[in-house]
């Protein structure tokens, strides 16, 4: 900003404006941001997102950056200062209400969004909105309706909330409203803040979907969620017992459908496993959300039936936990359909595991497989090689128990 040389021509705030312009003159640098990637994917998937974080840590700044990157106009609505009718609509009497009914007039910001056909609706201070306002917001978030208007598909919804401990007159979110959001925890990075205050703020490259991956991504997401829930039916619906838990992410058929969509989007974008895990936990909660990550790892494992059909061509995973999962799956497959040929093939696979990995991984599967033997089944040669490992493990276990017992007696 130019300041006149003659002091008489300088207005009182010219120097202040010039100083403010210098303070706003900052640069940017590229930086990976897992949270922003997760937020972008959730918004791209057209799922309502709720950012949880303490006041003043940059939630609004992140929304402004996202809106600019997606080329979407940002509309901010402070939920806590509105009445329920601001979201459900105000009744407007017509000439003949008995015939025409009573339409519900929407607020001006909703009309602007509908006219634009696209935008980012930011519902701020959600946790300080009273229960009546939260109930009115249900229709906005679920049906995308505000009064008589329906938000167009080009409008995305993001909300922000402070934890109840730091919110002025805060309320816990009602379970029906909480179960409709992707809950992302927002925090600040100390290094980012220090560099930003020094004049260099980060800019993150937003994930982009690869058109060639879309079909495979959908199939991958269906397998990931359906296989997990088929094996763990108790994870389908778990309503938390505490009010605080009900106000966050928890598993239900609705949130598993959201998780499935997010897995597809993250896969199509080639997102990291960290981003994918963040998104799943943001929909179904931390505990249940850890299960899909393990399930995704297992999806890349060989099918136990294929291993039993041709053990000579088997290739076992290098990682110990995945190898253990494969061996347990092979033994379980034999238990479900016990046949002599399958039992012999399982012993061959355990022998392969013994030759190519840690011996302790075969101890439990070998003991379990041995218990499945029928009286008329001959003992295969592979058992002789594994018998020493199992007996040695048992002797070591007995020795450990004896040592512990001796220590107690002392």
CATH number, position 132: 3.40.50.300
- The total of structural domains in the chain comes to 3
pLDDT at 102: 64
Directed axis angle between helix 320-336 and helix 286-299, to 10°? 80
Does residue 374 share a domain with residue 320? yes
| Alpha-carbon distances, residue 294 vs 41, 192, 264 (angstroms) | 21, 32, 17
pLDDT at 39: 93
Does residue 217 share a domain with residue 197? no
Contact criterion met (CB below 8 Å) for 157 and 196? no
Contact criterion met (CB below 8 Å) for 62 and 122? no
pLDDT at 410: 46
Which residue range forms the structural domain that includes residue 323? Answer: 304-409
Given 175, 203, 231, the domain boundary residue is: 203
Q: For residue 17, tell me if it sits in a domain.
A: no
The tokens for 145 are 């309706």
Does residue 131 share a domain with residue 41? yes
Q: For residue 405, tell me if it sits in a domain.
A: yes
Q: For residue 183, tell me if it sits in a domain.
A: yes
pLDDT at 329: 86
The tokens for 340 are 């002599």
Paired sense of beta strands 145-146 and 118-124, if any: unpaired
Contact criterion met (CB below 8 Å) for 138 and 144? no
Q: For residue 22, tell me if it sits in a domain.
A: no
Does residue 180 share a domain with residue 35? yes
What is the rounded distance in angstroms from the CA atom of residue 169 to the CA atom of residue 185?
20
Q: For residue 292, tell me if it sits in a domain.
A: yes
* Tokens 């978030």, residue located: 141
Does residue 237 share a domain with residue 346? no
pTM: 0.71
Measuring CA to CA, which residue among 225, 151, 145, 140 is closest to residue 176? 140
pLDDT at 224: 86
Measuring CA to CA, which residue among 97, 315, 282, 90 is closest to residue 180? 282
What is the rounded distance in angstroms from the CA atom of residue 19 to the CA atom of residue 32?
31
Given 299, 332, 347, the domain boundary residue is: 299
Q: For residue 218, tell me if it sits in a domain.
A: yes
| Alpha-carbon distances, residue 387 vs 9, 109, 345, 347, 367 (angstroms) | 98, 75, 16, 11, 9
Give the DSSP letter string of 281-327.
Answer: HHHH-HHHHHHHHHHHHHHTSPPHHHHHH-GGG----SSHHHHHHHH
pLDDT at 97: 62
Helix (H) or strand (E) holding 183: strand 182-185
Q: For residue 12, tell me if it sits in a domain.
A: no
pLDDT at 195: 87
Q: For residue 24, tell me if it sits in a domain.
A: no
The tokens for 265 are 């989007």
Does residue 238 share a domain with residue 111? no
Given 203, 235, 260, the domain boundary residue is: 203
Does residue 183 share a domain with residue 56? yes
**DSSP one-letter code for 173:** P
pLDDT at 394: 46
Does residue 64 share a domain with residue 194? yes
Does residue 280 share a domain with residue 156? no
Q: What is the pLDDT along the chain (410 residues), one digit of tens a residue?
A: 555 566 666 677 888 888 899 988 888 888 888 888 999 999 999 999 999 988 888 888 888 888 888 889 999 998 888 888 888 777 676 666 656 666 677 888 889 999 999 999 999 888 888 888 888 888 888 889 888 789 999 999 999 988 866 555 667 788 998 999 999 998 888 888 898 888 888 877 788 999 999 999 999 999 888 878 877 788 899 999 888 889 999 999 999 999 999 999 999 999 998 999 999 999 999 888 887 776 776 666 788 888 999 998 998 888 887 788 889 889 988 998 999 999 999 999 998 988 888 788 888 888 888 888 888 888 877 777 676 665 544 443 444 444 444 444 44
Does residue 309 share a domain with residue 240? no
Does residue 182 share a domain with residue 249? no
Does residue 149 share a domain with residue 249? no
| Alpha-carbon distances, residue 380 vs 173, 259, 324, 350 (angstroms) | 62, 46, 22, 12
What is the rounded distance in angstroms from the CA atom of residue 334 to the CA atom of residue 251?
33
């Amino acid at each position: 900003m130019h300041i006149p040389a003659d002091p008489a021509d300088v207005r009182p705030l010219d120097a202040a404006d010039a100083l403010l312009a210098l303070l706003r003159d900052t640069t940017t640098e590229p930086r990976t941001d897992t949270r922003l990637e997760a937020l972008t994917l959730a918004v791209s998937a057209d799922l309502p997102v709720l950012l949880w974080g303490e006041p003043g840590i940059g939630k609004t700044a992140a929304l402004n950056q996202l809106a600019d990157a997606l080329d979407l106009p940002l509309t901010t609505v402070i939920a806590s200062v509105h009445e329920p009718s601001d979201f459900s609509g105000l009744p407007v009497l017509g000439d003949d209400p008995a015939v025409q009914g009573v339409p519900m007039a929407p607020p001006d910001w909703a009309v602007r969004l509908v006219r634009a056909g696209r935008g980012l609706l930011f519902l701020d201070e959600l946790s300080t909105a009273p229960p009546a306002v939260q109930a009115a917001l249900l229709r906005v978030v679920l049906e995308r309706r505000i009064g008589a208007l329906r938000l167009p598909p080009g409008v995305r919804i993001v909300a922000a909330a402070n934890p109840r401990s730091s919110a002025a007159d805060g309320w816990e979110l009602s379970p029906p409203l909480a179960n409709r959001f992707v809950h992302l925890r927002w925090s600040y990075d100390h290094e980012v803040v220090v560099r930003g205050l020094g004049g260099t703020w980060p800019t993150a490259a937003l994930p982009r979907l690869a058109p060639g991956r879309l079909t495979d991504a959908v199939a991958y997401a269906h397998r990931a969620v359906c296989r997990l829930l088929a094996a763990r039916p108790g994870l389908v619906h778990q309503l938390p017992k505490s009010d605080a838990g009900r106000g966050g992410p928890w598993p239900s058929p609705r949130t598993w459908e959201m998780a499935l969509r997010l897995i597809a989007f993250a896969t199509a974008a080639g997102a990291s496993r960290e981003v994918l895990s963040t998104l799943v936990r943001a929909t179904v909660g931390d505990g249940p959300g850890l299960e899909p990550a393990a399930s995704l790892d297992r999806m890349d494992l060989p099918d136990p039936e294929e291993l039993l059909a041709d053990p000579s061509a088997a290739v076992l995973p290098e990682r110990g936990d995945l190898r253990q999962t494969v061996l347990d799956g092979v033994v379980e497959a034999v238990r479900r359909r016990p046949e002599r040929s399958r039992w012999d093939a399982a012993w061959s696979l355990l022998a392969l595991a013994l030759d190519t990995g840690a011996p302790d991984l075969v101890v439990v599967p070998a003991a379990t497989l041995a218990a499945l033997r029928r009286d008329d089944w001959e003992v295969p040669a592979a058992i002789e090689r594994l018998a020493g490992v199992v007996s040695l493990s048992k002797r070591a276990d007995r020795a450990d128990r004896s040592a512990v017992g001796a220590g107690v007696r002392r």
